[in-house]
Amino acid sequence: MNRKILYQLPLLLILLVVYSCKNESDDKETSATNKWIETNMRHWYYWYDKMPSGNKLNFSSTPEDFFKSLLVSADGKNGYHYSSIKKKSAVTRSSSNEPTFGFEFQNWVNTANSYAVNVLYVLPNSPAQKAGLKRGEWIMKINDAYVNTTNIYDLIGSKSIKLHVANSWTSDPSKMRSIEMTPGVVEDNPIFYTNIYQGQSTGMKKIGYMVYNHFTGGPSGDSDTTYDNQMKAEFAKFKAAGIDEFIIDLRYNGGGLITCAQVMAQALAPASAIGKMFCNTVYNDVVKKETPYYLNSNEENLDLPRLFVLTSTRTASASEAVINGLRPYYDVILLGEQTEGKNVGSVTLTEDKYDYELHPIVCKVFNAKGESNYSNGFTPNWTLEGTDRLINGHTEMGDEENDVLLRTAIEMCAGSAILSRTSSVQSLNLTPGYCSLQDKPQFGLREPSNQ
């Protein structure tokens, strides 16, 4: 027996030595990564001067925890920070290779703490569309369990799923239908829907309408301009049709690249604003930089006297920059809900020898008048009330008759609707949550990635 122990002892020592060396190597790698993170943050971070001092930092913590320990309360809302860190292998929304069910949703909870998910839109050729899921339907059960704060995240997972769906939250449970979906690769083109309305409801005006869901240049990443070029082509069609008014629907647009927002603003701005500033990004006093973006000359400019924008609580970042950037030049009329209030922008920082990419907030965004006072969001001129905030009964995008916001915007264009309304959303007895196939609001700036 003693001999057996002696035989095993060298192997045990070897394992202990290997384990010890590995831990020491891992610790050095973690510490080096965290020092790289700190160096970049003290240079780029907009609130660098409010970061904890070096002697209060734990350089042996995980890079994710270390990064979070540097962030300040001004960076984000309700416990969520706008600045983020990701492993380089992490897949982003702009990738065309991310498996998804292909629908956007909002979760709601009532006073009895009962949860349900409202479907906001379904991407074309997605697993959700093929399964028959429709905008305005309600997901009541996920994998045979009623929706709760845990299983709701299965909706953005990578495994097959079974859903029980109803036409409304108050539908008879016995009338729910069951569908099954497996995630797949789906192209998420931000130009979701376009149309031109003309008739009695429009006062015979031609009213252009576009649903634009995120500011992404193209399916292959930041350098791809496929979607930008398609957006220009769509605006050229509106111009050729001779539209009189325009409604841009940014209800589900959480932001994206400022250059894509610039393309949109150039088409929507009045002709008298072309050549003038769209927005200015102002960095901290270490970087000491300002980057102005201009409303450049373009063939698709609509030259209209005003703009109508449909908004929600998830309208944010680059979407809000379009609103703020165009306001100095004409009336921008908002309909819907208070927007997010993200008036800051981020960059992506990477270095080959580190396995992380950083997305710190690095600048504040101003318009041509030097205004950036929307950190609490933009208040709409016409606010959704009560159950109008919900989408019920297969109300598809572009449904002029049943989409309350779209119908009201068209009536305003025609001059037949009251411009303002006081909100009474507390009568709804429902509280919205934030959970979707989208990332949180982003405002991306093209900067050199290796810093």
Write the pLDDT tens digit of every residue in 411-435: 999 987 666 554 433 344 555 554 4
pTM of the model: 0.88
Distance between CA 277 and CA 255 in Å, rounded? 20
Q: Indicate whether 4 pLDDT > 70.
A: no
Domains of the chain in sequence order: 26-87 (no CATH), 99-185 (2.30.42.10), 191-425 (3.90.226.10)
Q: Which residues contact 62 (CB under 8 A, 6 or more apart)?
A: 30
Strands of the sheet with 255-257, listed across from one edge? 255-257, 442-444, 344-346, 361-366, 277-283, 290-294
**What's the burial of 205, exposed, middle or buried (CB within 10 Å: 0-12/13-18/19+)?**
middle
Give the confidence band of 13 by pLDDT, cuts at 50, 70, 90: low
pLDDT digits (tens, 9 = 90+) for 280-293: 999 999 999 999 99
Q: Which residue has the tokens 């009560």?
A: 386
Predicted pLDDT at 1 = 43
Can you give the pLDDT at residue 393?
75
CA-to-CA distance for 341 and 326, rounded, in angstroms? 16
Q: For the segment 336-377, what is each residue's pLDDT rounded down to a tens digit?
A: 999 999 999 999 999 999 999 999 999 999 999 999 999 999
Report the alpha-carbon distance of residue 311 to residue 299 in Å, rounded: 27
Give the residue, 3 or 187, on which the prediction is more confident: 187
- For residue 12, what pLDDT band results from cuts at 50, 70 and 90? low
Across residues 167-191, what is the average pLDDT? 89
pLDDT in the model for residue 417: 64
Q: How far apart are CA 49 and CA 70, in angstroms?
A: 11
Q: Which long-range contacts (CB under 8 A, 24 or more apart) does 370-374 make?
A: 371/324, 371/327, 371/328, 372/324, 372/343, 373/343, 374/320, 374/323, 374/324, 374/339, 374/341, 374/343
Taken in order 157, 163, 167, 171, is the CA torsion positive or negative?
negative
Question: Quick one: pLDDT band at residue 45, thresholds 50, 70, 90?
Answer: very high
pLDDT score for 16? 53
pLDDT of residue 405: 94
Supply 216's token pair.
């992404």
Provide the pLDDT for residue 447: 45
Q: Is the pLDDT of residue 96 over 60?
A: no
- Model confidence at 97, pLDDT cuts 50, 70, 90, reads low
Return all residues near 365 (Cβ < 8 A) that are at least 6 apart.
Answer: 258, 279, 280, 281, 282, 321, 324, 343, 344, 345, 372, 443
User: Out of 76-80, 111-115, 438-442, which region has the weakest mean confidence (pLDDT)?
Assistant: 438-442
Q: Which residues pair with 358 in a beta bridge?
A: 85, 349
Amino acid 70 reads L
304 or 156, greater pLDDT: 304
Pairwise pLDDT comparison (13 vs 205), residue with the higher score? 205
pLDDT at 92: 38
User: What's the CA gap between 50 and 60, in Å, rounded?
Assistant: 22
Mean pLDDT of the chain: 87
Residue with tokens 């069910």: 101
Does 167 or 433 have the greater pLDDT score?
167
